[in-house]
Amino acid sequence: MKFRRFAPDSILGWLALILIAGLAASQALTALAHNMDRNEAIVEIEDLRAAERVATFATFLQHTAPVLRASVAQSFSGPSMTVEVTNRANVPEDEESNRRLGHLAKAVSERLRGTGWQEIRVAEAAPTDEQKAKGLMPIRTSIALRDGAWINFEFAAIESLPLATIRVIAWTAFSVLLVLGLSYYAFRRVTHPLEQLTRAAESLGRSGRTEALQETGASEVRRAARAFNEMQGRIRRLLEDRMQMVAAISHDLRTPITRLKLRAEFVEDPEQREKMLRDLDEMETMIKETLALAREDANPERRAKLDLGQLLIDSVEGMEHVTLEIDPALQGASIEAQPIALKRAIVNLVENAVVYGKSARIRLTAAEDFEIGIMDQGPGIPEAELDRVFRPFYRLEASRNRESGGAGLGLAIARSVVRAHGGDIVLKNGPEGGLQATVTLPK
């Protein structure tokens, strides 16, 4: 669970994580193995060079007159190796040696061919602070000559090299960053079409329409974009056929309704005549709203940049029992929208609040998106009905009395318009009563 909290949430993030982890592990293991092999080779070469020098000096001193050996050994001594000839060994007889010192003793012995050597001893000496800081290991070697003299050598050998240096780390980091940069370009080419597909699917789900996707990218992504475009085309044709059918039916109903109105005028009973005319007026209103919805869906209004605050002012102009509050920071805030359609949606919501809630308080704020809150003082709506009221021709008041409500298309049209702009409408009951409609519109 803790890992999921920090795990990436996108394909690009997962690809980057896998690449970074894989590169880092690969580079680290490769550098570690290379440096270990390099260290072993360098140490072995250093030991062989030391063995060559020890064997060469020892051979020369063996063939030097005993009287001259001390002065000759002193001339051999230098910063990297000291040589002296004495009557005793500087390496104790019972000194333990490790694997490396054993190899060094063997290398010296192989180079001192012949039977004139009595004994060869190799041991590690106590390092100084300076030698510890430099990673050096002091080694003492004692070789016994045939006349009983001992040649004592002392030199410092490389104990080990660091597995990683600043230069190695810098080059490793540079190579990782270079590969990451090239990989990021490749990943973006793969994931960008997927992001476009996601945005198009979200837009299609909100508004029922979106632009056709460009069929670019990998073959799998191209097939997905092609399938999405075909699906979108089928959905658009289905919606167009449905709206054309509804518009045709609504248009054809206007003529018989007109004839029924004329016939209703000849009904002698005034009460029945009034009821018939009222029902016919309601049917005619429903047909007009349906035709308006069909025309809007078939011929969407062209978008333009407009002042959202001014749009709200124009929408409520002349309305009674309406108050409007605009955040001062949003004065002059602009939005790309369909002016007439968006104004119609706002008017529908405000009129709904005034009719059912006696008043409407409108407030324009902004966080990530623009938010238009419309609060009334009515009784609210049952929780189970908060989403159903957006269905076309659905009304809480079942009598469909024109005095208590419209044809049931106002909220459906408002949500359709807002969703076509990439936003949404949410209804909720206020904590102290009343109903609040919140319209969100992207900036």
- Does 173 score more than 70 pLDDT? yes
Q: In whole angstroms, what separates CA 198 from the centre of its chain?
A: 15
Distances (CA, A) of 173 to 39, 241, 330, 410: 22, 60, 47, 62
- Does 395 score more than 80 pLDDT? no
| pLDDT tens-place string over residues 250-272 | 777 888 888 888 888 888 888 88
199-299: in CATH 3.40.50: no
Would you list the DSSP string of 46-74?
HHHHHHHHHHHHHHHHHTS-HHHHHHHHH
Total residue count of the chain as it appears in this document: 443
Average pLDDT of 155-182?
79
Spatial separation of the C-alpha atoms in residues 158 and 161, rounded to whole Å: 7
| pLDDT tens-place string over residues 317-355 | 889 889 999 988 888 889 999 888 899 899 999 998 998
Give me the pLDDT at residue 402, please.
Answer: 44
Query: pTM higher than 0.95 for the full model?
Result: no
Strand order in the sheet with 150-158: 81-86, 150-158, 136-144, 119-124
- Does 409 score more than 90 pLDDT? no
- Does 200 score more than 90 pLDDT? no
User: 51-60, 113-122, 335-344, 401-410: which has the minimum mean pLDDT?
Assistant: 401-410
Please name the CATH architecture into which domain 303-441 falls. 2-Layer Sandwich (3.30)
Give me the pLDDT at residue 15, please.
Answer: 74
The token pair that represents 68 in the structure block = 């001259």
**Other CB atoms within 10 Å distance of the CB of residue 411:** 23
What ranges do the domains of the chain cover?
A: 11-158, 199-299, 303-441
- What pairs with residue 375 in β-bridges? 361, 436
Please give the helix or strand (H or E) that residue 440 lies within, else none: strand 435-441
User: 8-22, 112-126, 388-402: which has the minimum mean pLDDT?
Assistant: 388-402
Give me the pLDDT at residue 307, please.
Answer: 92
